[in-house]
Amino acid sequence: MKHPGITRCGNVEFRWGERTFVMGIINLSPDSFAGDGVTEPEAVVAQARRFVSQGADILDIGGESTRPGSSPISAAEEIKRVAPIIERLASEVTVPLSIDTGKPEVARQALEAGATMINDEWGLKRDKRLARLAAEKNTPLILMSNQRDKGSYDARIKRDTAFYNDVIGEVTASLRQSLELALKLGVGRENIILDPGIGFGKTWQQDLEIVRRLKELRELGRPILIGPSRKSFIGLALGLPASERVEGTAAAIAIGVAEGADIVRVHDVPEMVRVCRMSDAIIRSSPYQARGEL
């Protein structure tokens, strides 16, 4: 299958298929599941600079926790958390800044502050105005397959055996629906990135299956982002808390890269940059050292 070409993000070009790109997580929420939330501006800027120096290609900035059971915050509060940080980082780092939000008013303020990518964890299910905004601004848009709106695992499995038996079929259908809606609303195909939504409304066994069968999502013809970092499926598979999931994350990412991931979204940037570079060296014959990148 033909690789999905090039996506331009601000002054940066992502040439899909040449290597794996690393997205570093900048979490401005105090109640992150991974315990990595940073709210003091100087500490956030220091973390962002460190991530870039360690090899991050994109910084994904979010102001609202997405952990299960978290309390929602208002758009005004989310803007208050993210806009000043994005405005400052836009003048201090050279990599693209992504805004991780499901609210179009937050995304608009973030883009005006200097973000150049939108990451919608609901894949336009909550608010399709995000697609209109991405089209208006000619901005790359990440669309995720999120099954949390389908209710609890047990209730969903009882009424929907197809989802239980074929999670990839469900995720593919969900992403295709989001992709087609985005195109209908004017987003350029070259600007759409797809995320299967590891940890968002799936059982831990299904999350493992998504990583194992990631290559099947290639039929959608767009670059694939995965976010396994420190997720509960690693904890349940290994019996470890979030603080001890680095190696499990590395295994998921290495296999994800082998199965066709184009972007990995991570907390532990230096470790996962090395995992991606080694995986690329094996899979894509991409020797970073020989190109003077180490």
- Looking up tokens 């990135």 gives 193
- The amino acid at 113: A
- 9: part of which helix (H) or strand (E)? strand 6-9
Cβ atoms of residues 92 and 52 within 8 Å: no
Q: What is the side-by-side strand order in the sheet with 225-226?
A: 192-195, 141-144, 117-120, 97-100, 58-62, 21-27, 263-266, 225-226
Span between the terminal Cα atoms of the chain, in Å: 31
Cβ atoms of residues 194 and 220 within 8 Å: yes
Q: Which two tokens stand for residue 120?
A: 């919608």
Active-site residue numbers?
A: 231, 265
Any idea what DSSP says for residue 186? T
- Looking up tokens 């982002």 gives 225
Q: Which two tokens stand for residue 174?
A: 């969900």
Q: For residue 50, how many other CB atoms are within 10 A of its CB? A: 13
Helix or strand or coil: residue 145?
coil
* Dihedral sign of CA atoms 83, 87, 93, 96 in order: positive
Cβ atoms of residues 37 and 73 within 8 Å: no
Any idea what DSSP says for residue 224? B
User: Residue 3 CA to chain centroid, in angstroms?
Assistant: 19
